[in-house]
Amino acid sequence: MTHHTPFQPLSPAARRGGAPHRHGGWVRASLAVGSLLLVGVAAAADTSATAQLQRWSTQANAPANAEKGKVFFNTRQGGEWSCASCHNTPPTTEGKHARTDKPIAPLAPAFNAKAFTDEAKADKWFRRNCKDVLSRECTAAEKANVLAYLLTLKP
């Protein structure tokens, strides 16, 4: 293989063979990194509240019921807390964690554009919060019902 300096142009045959080009390496690397960053941005907002509702309704094998979701959200489930204990009634303003006082963004999607737009986060927070409120994970029907209720809340 012939050695080329960075300023010496390569022949078309050398370029087709994948030989290094003066800018080819960093351009390809930059494009690859840029593509990964775009995938990361897309993954951060990988779904919507209505898509989440559809997913949980399908898993529950039943349509969501907003009225059941409202009752569930506002009722203590055997412990000292309900969903509303931290997320407010209605959950359209900033809430506050009952134990830590940490601020919590509004839960209703019409009042928080990021609510339920990340599937992994929605699953994580439902899992944690349901364990706090119910001492177990929520069922798909419970998640669907609560989200159906949240979607009824409008400015």
> Which string of b and e fits 73-104 if b means at least 16 CB within 10 Å?
bbeebeeebbbbbbbbebbbeebeeeeeeeeb
72 class by beta-carbon count within 10 Å (0-12 exposed, 13-18 middle, 19+ buried): buried
Fold of 49-152: Cytochrome Bc1 Complex; Chain D, domain 2 (1.10.760)
- Record the tokens describing residue 101, joined without a space: 């006082």
Q: Reduced to 3 states, what is the DSSP secondary structure of residue 41?
A: helix
- What pLDDT is stored for residue 80 in this prediction? 85
CA distance 36 to 12: 30
- What pLDDT is stored for residue 31 in this prediction? 46
Per-10-residue mean pLDDT of the chain, 155 residues long, equals: 53 54 49 46 70 96 97 90 92 90 94 95 93 93 97 96
Nearest CA to 70 out of 130, 144, 121, 138 is that of 144
- What pLDDT is stored for residue 33 in this prediction? 47
